[in-house]
Amino acid sequence: MPLIDITLPDASVRQIECGKTSHDLAASIGPRLAMAAVAARVDGVLTDLAAPLTHACKVEILTFKDPASLEILRHSVTRVGEVARNCLSSRVPDPQ
């Protein structure tokens, strides 16, 4: 796979294989960052950590400390709650 240049917030540049993910990038920087990562901002757009990086871009790894992460986590928790509610409502009879 060809290498692509990833520019980090401190203006340093890392090269990774095309198709690797933001999570892979975080892991290459450090295991703690990979564990704390919630999402990434790629060229200014919030993305999932599993989205492949396919071109040279600017990447910021977001952790719990980033305000944008709170919105992502709230959305995720809401979705999990909806799925749990749907699963339970299909298995538990309506008490009417």
- The predicted-structure confidence for 29-55, as pLDDT tens digits, reads as follows 999 999 999 999 999 999 989 999 999
Q: Is residue 80 part of a domain?
A: yes
Q: Is residue 27 part of a domain?
A: yes
Give the CATH number of the domain where residue 35 resides: 3.10.20.30
Count of domains for the chain: 1
pLDDT class of 94 with cuts at 50, 70, 90: low
Q: Which two tokens stand for residue 11?
A: 């203006």
End-to-end CA distance of the chain: 60
pLDDT of amino acid 91 = 66
Q: Is residue 46 part of a domain?
A: yes
Q: Summarize pLDDT for 64-87 with one digit per residue, the tens.
A: 888 887 777 776 667 677 777 778
pLDDT of amino acid 78 = 72
Domain that holds residue 76: 3-91
Q: Is residue 48 part of a domain?
A: yes
Q: Is residue 96 part of a domain?
A: no
